[in-house]
Amino acid sequence: MSVTYSKSGKVLVKCTDEEETVIVPDGVTQIKAEAFLNCINLKEVILPESLKTIGVMAFRNCTSLERIKIPAGVRRVCRYTFLDCKNLEEIIFSDSLQSIQFSAFENCDSLKNVAIPDSVEDIDSYAFRNCSNLKELVYHNLHIRINFTDWYEFTYLQRTIRFINQRDYTEKIIASVKYDLLWQMFFQNPDDEKLKNYLHQYFSKIFLHLIEKDEAESVQKILDHYDFVTKNNIDKLIKYAIDHQKLQSQLLLMNYKASHNWQKERNLWL
């Protein structure tokens, strides 16, 4: 038998490398540590809703595995669980998941985007380290775009989100993460006066971050809908875009300046 269970039938103990598809039967509550380790032919595994625990390194180096759905009964993804699953393209988490532990999805090269449920309280260091194609996490309604191969940024992510959600915008955390999240929160809730006032107060510094990333869509949205860019700061912003060779932002700002009637009375915040 290629898949071995405990006498009670509640624990999946081991799977051999022969299987391409495994349907774990209802009633199984635990997948033992290293149960699917090095099952390089495994392409699909269907887990039952009865499952409560997936052990350490349970699916490590399952290099053909493409998709996994974590059942609602599983509260944590243990360390190294999906380490080196290089063809894993999709992860579906339940809304009851609480933590993703150390190196759980490290080296999963095929991941491109991941949605983390709001129920998750902790994402440990290196949980998504070296996921070279991962461009975005969706977490607390924020689309987080950072460098997932450089874990220095990600280690501050949860702290950043925690402070921002507590409406403490002054906390000194990594600017590249903080500023991006602040804009996203503002676009979602432009009537938040505290956040709006903070953005107005430190606009030049925060907006330069968007220019540095040359995020044309966000720059255009700010120009179209908000009065942050004014006669007082437009030339400084254009110069920064020119000096840093950010062509898209430069053109948007120059077009904005050329088409704008600066004589019209406006609410100048800066």
* pLDDT band (50, 70, 90) for residue 23: very high
pLDDT for 81-105, tens place per residue?
Answer: 999 999 999 999 999 999 999 999 9
> DSSP 3-state assignment of 238?
helix
Between 156 and 211, residue with greater pLDDT: 211
pLDDT in tens, 166-205: 777 776 666 777 788 888 888 888 888 888 888 988 898 8
Q: What are phi and psi of 58, to 5 degrees?
A: -60, -40
Per-residue pLDDT for 69 more than 90?
Answer: yes
- pTM of model > 0.85: no
Rounded to the nearest 5°, which phi and psi values hold at 22? -130, 125
C-alpha radius of gyration, the chain, whole number: 24
The rounded distance, in Å, linking the Cα atoms of 133 and 184 is 22
Reported as a single tens digit per residue, the pLDDT across 106-157 is: 999 999 989 999 898 888 878 898 898 988 888 877 777 776 766 666 666 6
Q: What are phi and psi of 260, to 5 degrees?
A: -90, 140
Residue 116, beta-bridge partner list: 139
Q: Please name the residues in contact with 214: beta carbons below 8 A apart, sequence gap of 6 or more.
A: 246, 247, 248, 249
Give the residue from 90, 159, 166, 97 showing the smallest Cα distance to 131: 90
CATH architecture of 11-155: Alpha-Beta Horseshoe (3.80)
